[in-house]
Structure 1
C-alpha cells in the first residue's frame, strides 16, 4: 500500500537560481511542507542525509541522478516528480522500492533554446562579448565581425528545433544547408531547403554549423576530428544540444588548430561545470555559456507546473504520467 499523507514533505532539488518560489505554479504546493535546495550535489551520502524524510522529490531535467544507491536510503520516499524524459532515474530500482516516477512527456517546443541558439550565433559572429568587455576597459573597436546575410547556415538534424533555427536563418538572408539522417533530409527537401551531398561537403560548406540532434547510442561521438578539420577557418560551430555528440577532446583540439575558427557552446560533458580551468573555457575562440538554452521563466512555469500538477494528483489519490505503473499494482493509494 502507498500511504499518502495529507501534508507531503516535498524536496525540490537543483534550483540553482532560487527561482522556483517566485513562479506562479509554486502556489500549487500550498499546504505541503516544501524545502528547496539551490546547490548541485552528486554525493549520495550528502543527498541521503538531506532527503531522508522526503515523501516527494522534484527534479528538473537530468540535474540529479537517482539510482538504487540513493532510493534505498530514502525510506519515506513515495514519489519522484518532474517533466520530460527520465534517463537519469533508475526506474527498476524505484519500482522495487515502491516509489512512483511521474513525468509528463508532452513537450512544449523549446522556443527558448531556439532563441538562445541565435543569441550565441550573433554574439560569436560579431564578437559581442569581447567588444563589450573591452569597452568597459576603455578599448574602442578592437575586432571586425562577420555578418550573416549570404552565408551558409548548416543545420545538422532537421527536426522540431532544427527547423525553427533554419527559418530564422532564412529571415537573416542566409543560405540553408541541411544534413542528418534520411528523415531530416526528407523533411528539409519537403520544405524546399537544400541538403548536402555528403557529410564531408556539409562540414566544408557551412559558415555557421548548428547541431540539433538527440543524444543516443547512434549519435554519441558522431562528430570527430576529421569532420571538424574540414570546416573553414572563418566558420562557427554552435552546440546547444549535447556535448557528447562530439568526441571527447575533439573540439578543443580543432579550435586550437583554427578549424573551425570559432565555437559557441552551451553544453558540457559534465554539468554543472565549475572548473575555470576547463580547456574549452580557456580558449579565446570559444564562447561558452552554462547550459542556458532552456533556462527561461515561461519554460520553467511549464516544466515545474507539470511536476507540481503530478504531486497534486498523487495527493488526491489519482496519480498521473506514471512511468512505472507496476508500483500501483502493488496496492491502491491510501
Structure 2
C-alpha cells in the first residue's frame, strides 16, 4: 500500500518516531516536500496513492481530485477535519476519511512569541544587528521608536477556547489585565477562570493593548472583522492572528493600519498560502511568520502518531480476517 504525505515542507516526516507505527505492515511511505498548486499536476503525482495523509489544510482535496484517483481508499487529516476535504465526493467513492485531535500548546506558545516579538521589535533589531547596526529598527531616525513591556497592559482574547485559555493564562502570568469577548461559551469560561468578559464588541476593542484572535472559521465568522472594528482599536495597539486569516475582511488590516489604528499586527495565517503573505511581508508595522502555529517537533509527533495509527489499522483491516478499521 502506497502512503503519500503532502506538503512536508521541511522533509521531516520520514525521520519522525511516529513512523514506527508503520513497522510490520506492507506500506511504501512517500513524502512530497514541495506544494503542488496545479490540480492536474497533483492528480498525476498521486496516481499510485492508496492512502493520502494531509498536513492540516495545506492542500484542498476537491471532488475532482478524489474522482481522478481510482486507487485512493483512505484520507487521513492530521489534527481535526477543517473543511479542506470534499467529504461528499469521498462518500460517493467509499473512501474512508479519518482525523486526529488538536493540540493547543504549540499555537498558544507561538501567539506569545509573536506578542513578545512585535512588542519588543525583536525581528527588526536582530536584522539591523546582523548588518552591523546597533539598537536600531529603522533606517531613518524619524521613523524610529522603542518597544514596550506588557506588564500592566490589557490583553484581549477573542474566543476563550483551549488555545485562548492558554494564551490568557500566560498573559495573567505576565501581569496583564485579561479581558475576553465572544459567545456564551467564552463568557462561561472567562467567569470560571476569573477573567473579565465584555459582551459589546466596540467596548472590548477600545480597551486593548493587545488583541489575539482564537475563533473557529465558519460562515458566521468569515470576514466578521472589518475596517470599522479595527479602527476602534487604540493607535498603539497590537493585533495578533494565529487563527484564520479569513476572520478579517479582505484588505481590512492594511487599510486600518494605513489609517493609524491599530498600530501594529503580527500574523501567522494568510488567506492564500504561501502567496497570500506577499502584501504584508514588507509592511513596517507587520510581523509575519509562515503559518508555524502547529509546526514543531512534539506536535508533529502527536499528529503523525495518530495519522499513521489510522493507516496501520486500515492496512490491517485489508488482511484476511482483518477487523474493520475504526
Task: Report the Cα distance in structure 1 between the residues aligned to 2:65 and 2:214, rounded to whole angstroms.
Answer: 33
Aligned equivalent of 1:90: 86
Which segments of 5 or more consecutive residues in structure 2 lack a partner in the other structure?
137-144, 318-322
Shift of 1:140: 1.4
Q: 1:247 aligns with which of 246, 249, 262?
A: 249
2:270–2:276 contact (8 Å) kept in structure 1: no
Aligned equivalent of 2:302: 302
Aligned length: 310
Q: Normalising to structure 1: TM-score of the pair?
A: 0.89
Task: Report the Cα distance in structure 1 between the residues aligned to 2:276 and 2:183, rounded to whole angstroms.
Answer: 35
Shift of 1:197: 5.3
Cα 1:43–1:122 change in 2 (3 A) is same
2:257–2:263 contact (8 Å) kept in structure 1: yes
Q: Tell me how large the CA RMSD over aligned residues is.
A: 1.4
1:82–1:306 contact (8 Å) kept in structure 2: no
Shift of 1:259: 0.6
- 3-state DSSP of counterpart to 2:269: coil
Aligned equivalent of 2:141: none
Task: Report the Cα distance in structure 1 between the residues aligned to 2:73 and 2:162, rounded to whole angstroms.
Answer: 35
Question: Greater RCO between the two (CA within 8 Å, min separation 6)?
Answer: 1
Q: Normalising to structure 2: TM-score of the pair?
A: 0.91
Q: Residue deviations 1:179-213, cap 9 Å, x none?
A: 11122122212221112252101111100011111
Aligned equivalent of 2:228: 226
Q: 1:17 aligns with which of 2, 10, 18?
A: 10
**191-200 or 14-23: which moved more?**
191-200
- 3-state DSSP of counterpart to 1:279: helix
**284-293 or 137-146: which moved more?**
137-146
Task: Report the Cα distance in structure 2 between the residues aligned to 1:29 and 1:42, rounded to whole angstroms.
Answer: 28
**40-49 or 151-160: which moved more?**
40-49
Aligned equivalent of 2:42: 47
Shift of 1:288: 0.5
**11-20 or 265-274: which moved more?**
265-274
Q: Does 1:133 align with 2:133?
A: no
Aligned equivalent of 1:272: 274
- 3-state DSSP of counterpart to 1:263: strand
Which segments of 5 or more consecutive residues in structure 1 lack a partner in the other structure?
1-7, 322-334
Task: Report the Cα distance in structure 2 between the residues aligned to 1:208 and 1:149, rounded to whole angstroms.
Answer: 12
- 3-state DSSP of counterpart to 1:264: strand
1:82–1:304 contact (8 Å) kept in structure 2: no
1:273–1:290 contact (8 Å) kept in structure 2: no
Q: Does 1:185 align with 2:178?
A: no
Q: 1:36 aligns with which of 31, 41, 54?
A: 31
Aligned equivalent of 2:57: 62
